[in-house]
Amino acid sequence: MNQLKPLSTHVALVTGAGRGIGAAVSRTIAELGAALVMTGRTRQSLEATAAALAPSGSAIDVIPCDIQDLRSVEDLASQVEQKHGRLDILVNNSGVGVFGRPLHQLAPGDWDRVLNTNLRGVYHMIRSFAPKMIAARSGHIINISSLAGKNPVPNGAAYAASKWGLNGLSYSVAEELRGYGIRVSVVCPGSVDTDLSPHEGKDKSRMLKPEDVAHIVEMLVTQAPESFVSEVLIRPTQKP
C-alpha cells in the first residue's frame, strides 16, 4: 500500500458531491488516491468541483443521478460496474432540509422531497451497491446524518425525522452487513457552515466546516480492518 495514497487501490462514490460536505469529502478521498465517482443532480457543480480536484491525480468520473429515483440509481450502478467492476467506499451524503415552519404547516411536497432524498435515497443506494460489496466481502458505507437525528428540531421536523430514520437504518444495516466484512458507519455533525444549514442567529465562525466532516470520513476509511466505528458525533468546540 502506498502510505501517501492509502486508497490507491479503491473505488469510491460520493453523493451530493458538487458542493458543501460532499465536495470536501470528495477532495479528501481523491487526495488519498481512490478512483472517485462524483454524483449529484447538477452536472455543472459536479464538473466544477471535479476540475478543482484534478491536481490530486486520481481518476474522477462525474455521473449525474437523482437518488430519489431508483431507476436513476440503478443506471448509476450499471455505469460504475462497467467502468470499475467494483465499489469499495460509498458515502451517502446527499441531503435537503426545509426549516422555519411547524410540521402542520409543511406542504406534502416538501415532506416528500426531504424524506425521499435523505432516507429513501440512501435505501436506493445501498440496495444498488451493497450486493457488489457483499460479493467482494469488503467495503465501507458511510451515511452522513446529523445531530438533528439525536435531538428535537422545532420547525424542522421533516429533516429531523429523516435523520432519526437514517440513524436507525444505519445501525440495522451495519448488523446485516458486518458478517460480509462491510463496515457501515453513520456520521452526525452539528451545525455545518453550508447552504443547507439554517444560520439565523449563529456565529458562522464557530460552526463546523465541511472539512471537519471530511476528516472523520478519512479516519473511517483508513482504520485498521479488524474494527469499525459505527457512529461519530461531531460538535463545534464553541457553540455557534
Work out the average pLDDT over 214-225. Answer: 96
What is the share, in percent, of the chain residues with pLDDT greater than 70?
96
Residue 197 confidence (pLDDT): 61
**Max mean pLDDT range (193-197, 224-228, 230-234):** 230-234
Do 148 and 160 meet the contact criterion of CB atoms below 8 Å apart? yes
Find cell 472539512 and name the residue.
Answer: 211
Sequence spans of domains, the chain: 11-234
Q: Tell me, which fold does domain 11-234 have in CATH? A: Rossmann fold (3.40.50)
Q: Convert the pLDDT of each residue in 70-122 to its tens digit.
A: 999 999 999 999 999 999 999 999 999 999 999 999 999 999 999 999 999 99
The reply to whether 171 belongs to the active site is no
Q: How far apart are CA 208 and CA 183, in angstroms?
A: 25
Give the global pTM.
0.95
Q: Give pLDDT, residue 201.
A: 64
Residue 204: pLDDT above 90?
Answer: no
Question: Which phi and psi angles does 121 have, rounded to 5°?
Answer: -60, -40
* CA–CA distance, 195 with 144 (Å, rounded to integer): 16
5-13 mean pLDDT: 96
3-state SS assignment for residue 200: coil
Q: Is residue 163 within a helix (H) or strand (E), and if so which, with residue range?
A: helix 157-177
Calculate the alpha carbon distances from 122 to 24, 66, 73, 172, 204 in Å. Answer: 19, 11, 10, 13, 29
What is the number of alpha carbons within 13 Å of residue 26 lying toward its C-beta? 34
More confident residue, 71 or 238: 71
Q: Of 123, 159, 171, 180, which one is the catalytic site residue?
A: 159
Angle between helices 121-136 and 157-177 (to 10 degrees): 10
Q: Residues 13-65: pLDDT tens digits?
A: 999 999 999 999 999 999 999 999 999 999 999 999 999 999 999 999 999 99
